[in-house]
Amino acid sequence: MTTETSTPPAGAAPERGDFIREIVAADLRDGKHKTIVTRFPPEPNGYLHIGHVKAISINFGIARDFGGRCHLRFDDTNPTKEEQEYIDHIQEDIHWLGFDWGGHLYYASDYFEQLYQWAVYLIKAGKAYVDDLTADEIREHRGTLTEPGRHSPFRDRSIEENLDLFERMRAGEFPDGARVLRARIDMSSPNINLRDPVLYRILHADHPRTGDAWCIYPMYDFAHGQSDAIEGITHSLCSLEFEIHRPLYDWFIENLPVPARPRQIEFARLNVTYTVLSKRVLLRLVNDGFVRGWNDPRMPTIAGMRRRGFPAEGLRDFVAGVGVAKADNVIEFGQLEHAVRDVLNRTALRRFAVLDPLKVVIENYPEGQVEEMEVVNNPEDPSAGTRKVPFRRELWIEREDFMEEPPAKFFRLAPGREVRLRSAYFVTCTRVVKDAAGEVVELRCTYDPATRGGDSPDGRKPKATLHWISAAHATTAEVRLYDHLFTRPDPGAGGDLFADLNPNSETVLPGCQVEPTLADMPAGETVQFERLGYFCLDSDSTPGHPVFNRTLTLKDTWAKLQAQGRQG
């Protein structure tokens, strides 16, 4: 699936502009490039999350808007953390979001031989050396933000010795951690990234694609920019934390015979309240069993949000609404929910479901009779049509829709009160049946046959309309209600991130009753349970036991607060 968008002429600024698009448009007008080439370069060491949606939308969106192309490249330089599972799911997520790389799928591992030869080039130029210091010693020599670093005692090895040692590193002669290759730049630089950074480390580990062909692997900072250059990337668009790495990337480009010079432009990463996007934290949540996996509906991963029922269009609309800025900020989670609700309100079919069932028996309705009530599928979309819902003498309603002794502003069902059943009849509660403990277990009601369809010929208008389900036709389902995974909007700000985990982030409701049409619904589809919220059929469902995840409630607090703010 790809998004359909018309392409403006080269150099033309798209209608929705931002500072990156202005730069790209200027570069085209000035003749710096004939075609715009961007890339999305994930490391395959975890699942993509909501922050990646922004990066994906920017890179693929700008290439689309300017008639160029966007590459998907896996920066697979660390085989100890990378898995084929992650590679597969990243591709699936990008396609699900509506973007496509065409024939331009690449891997940093495609360039391992070229990167090795460029490392040799630096050694021959006297700009790289093999260092025997341990990782801790290198860290100690590097200095601090206020103190310069110290030269390694191995910094002045001869070019011949460095070439010999580096070749032996590749041949597998030395164990992990015994030696590294470092760039010779400036140990007194105020930018710590320029203090003789490590280019290669020894790592005897099988790579998902190259197997055991290599036992030395390039560091991310060395492989990243050169991979861009090899692919002819014109604009390397990345999040703000890479800004401090840009001088190092520029140094590599200036000191190597690369075929192109990409322009790096940084933008603010996406930060969302109640959410943690650190892959290290997300991996621990999975491995330590705090969630059911990378695609748990509470996770901020694309797979998790998809399983929860968030539509791709809603995620794209969210990041488009956030915009492209240079300064970091934190976005309210409610803004994401608002974008998702806006899409689901337009597209989701309406269905009946009862989460906490209370039996209703309509005593004057003929026993054994079944009627089919015509119910609108989506009032926002007339083309969605209608459906037939069976109606019988015994029904389920929500327990919270009845009160035996209602307060003044409770307008739903109570003894002696008449209410409307959606698209069916007016009913009046005549008797309450309780069990031995005094709990209400059943309501006895009567109905008005003249009100079929929900209207009265004499103009009566009940103050409440309830949803319902025929007890004989209902399907029993499990429903999972979700709240934020963390209890505070800034998880970890108090010192212990995992102490902020919400013990009530998931509530499981067994014995819910849902409309029979939902029994055959495909997994992953999201519908609106009328008056209750949006729900998605989960992949845990089995024949005869559907499981629904609550995507969102119907209440849009964020939109209400925005409206109040504008009025104020």
**Residues labelled as active-site residues:** 43, 269, 279
**What span, in angstroms and rounded, lies between the C-alpha atoms of 232 and 37?**
7
**Cβ atoms < 10 Å from Cβ of 171:** 10
DSSP state of 77: -
Beta bridge partners of 180: 131, 201
Q: Is 532 strand, coil or helix? A: coil
Q: Which two tokens stand for residue 338?
A: 């608002």
What residues contact 62, with CB distance under 8 A and at least 6 apart? 20, 21, 24, 36, 38, 68, 70, 235, 237
Distances (CA, A) of 120 to 117, 198, 231, 514, 532: 5, 14, 21, 67, 64
Strand segments, DSSP code E, in 229-304 are 235-239, 263-267, 271-272
Beta bridge partners of 201: 180, 217
Sheet holding 105-107, edge to edge: 37-40, 69-74, 105-107
Q: Which two tokens stand for residue 94?
A: 């990008």
Contact 118, 72 (CB under 8 A): no
**What span, in angstroms and rounded, lies between the C-alpha atoms of 185 and 149?**
12
Report the candidate in 93, 28, 105 with the shortest Cα–Cα distance to residue 62.
28
**What span, in angstroms and rounded, lies between the C-alpha atoms of 246 and 263?**
10
Report the DSSP pairing between strands 69-74 and 37-40.
Answer: parallel
